[in-house]
Amino acid sequence: MIHPLDQKYSRQMLFKPLGRDGQERLRASSAVLVGCGAIGAAAANLLVRAGIGRLRILDRDFVEASNLQRQSLFNESDAREALPKAIAAERNLRAINSDVQIEGIVADLTPRNAVELLSAFPLILDGTDNFETRFLINDLAVKSSTPWVYAAAVASYGLSFTILPGKTACLACLLDSSGGAGLEETCDTIGVLGPIVNLIASLEVAEAMKILAGRPAALHGRLISCDVWSGRIQSVLPERDPQCQVCVQHQFSYLAGEAQPHITMCGRDSVQIHERSRSLDLKALQERLASTVSDVRQNGFLLRFLIPPYEMTVFSDGRAILKGTKDPAVARSLYAKYIGA
Ligand SMILES: [Zn+2]
């Protein structure tokens, strides 16, 4: 009888540095992916096809038509249904490889829930789109000595670097020395191309596979950056900052939560209202709103309605995303009026 691993993963097992032993270790391994947008979706796809044992996917957002150009795991039906990305990812990945335990969680990673959501996993993968969340991951990873892979892309440019706490530089070592230039640019302001996203996810997952398959000696330790438009590719060995506040001085200010505001920017013309784990009954809310606002829709995971010129999307954990404004005061007042103070 042919062993099931031989059938499914034969091309991966023929690759000598992995072999059967690497495949079996991969199957016994787990990782958590924070953010399932473009890089996250591509990374999840590769990891699940490679035969990781268990993958947890956290994402706070829902699928929209403007995502489909680069977010390779989603389709038009997910966008029409406005499915949360974590849920759509879980469904679509199950159809790709039913051997993998996949757990999609609709949540925003915050100092309050980070330990609970991440600490059971030996590897954290970056699929986020913002530095606040990355610094939070970095704090938790360094504090708990958990490896994590940083990955980011914008326009035609992207980079990836694997952080082994105590051994390599951490994110704070990297960004303090570069001064954080260019961090304000996001996909929502200057766009992003599908090819760079998939390239960066590939670099990220190749490193993840070395860790998960028990091949740490194969990690290249380099920060690789690429621009698919200009063809420029750089590979450097970052040094640790001997004064680093995080990996040397162990000051975990993001994890301590002081930096977390109640309302944050979220894309070009949206704000996110974080609520303190307040559980909402979406069905009851839908009934209550039906008489006062237009176009109330609910799909079991989120509820969305229009208050022209705004569109509000509310999640069952009390979080909301208000589209059509950058003004926290408008968001606060609409949230209080329609959801509750
Ligand atoms: Zn550091």
Rounded Cα gap, residues 157 and 231, in angstroms: 10
Distance 144 CA to ligand 1 centre (A): 14
- DSSP bridge pairs for 31: 55
Rounded Cα gap, residues 210 and 215, in angstroms: 5
Distance 152 CA to ligand 1 centre (A): 18
Distance 244 CA to ligand 1 centre (A): 5
Distance 173 CA to ligand 1 centre (A): 4
**pLDDT for residue 191:** 87
**pLDDT for residue 179:** 42
Rounded Cα gap, residues 34 and 117, in angstroms: 10
> Mapping DSSP to helix (H, G, I), strand (E, B) and coil, where does residue 56 land?
strand
Rounded Cα gap, residues 321 and 206, in angstroms: 34
Closest CA to 209 of 311, 278, 123, 310: 123
The count of C-alpha atoms lying within 13 angstroms of the C-alpha of 327, restricted to the half-sphere facing its C-beta, is 7
- For residue 1, name the pLDDT band (cuts at 50, 70, 90): low
Rounded to an integer, the average pLDDT of 251-274 is 76
Residue with tokens 């001085």: 249
**pLDDT tens per residue, range 109-163:** 989 899 999 999 999 999 998 888 999 999 999 999 999 999 999 999 999 999 9
Contact 151, 126 (CB under 8 A): yes
Is the per-residue pLDDT at 184 higher than 60?
A: no
**pLDDT for residue 277:** 60
Catalytic option among 36, 187, 247, 266: 187
Is 244 considered catalytic here?
Answer: no
Distance 174 CA to ligand 1 centre (A): 7
Specify the DSSP element, H or E, that contains 271.
strand 270-273
**pLDDT for residue 333:** 82
Distance 139 CA to ligand 1 centre (A): 10
**pLDDT for residue 176:** 65
Q: Which residues of 213-242 are buried (b: 16+ CB within 10 A; e: fewer)?
A: bbbeeebeebbbbbebeeeeeeeeebeebe
220 Cβ neighbours under 8 A, 6+ residues apart: 207
- For residue 185, name the pLDDT band (cuts at 50, 70, 90): low
**pLDDT tens per residue, range 53-78:** 999 999 999 999 999 999 999 999 99
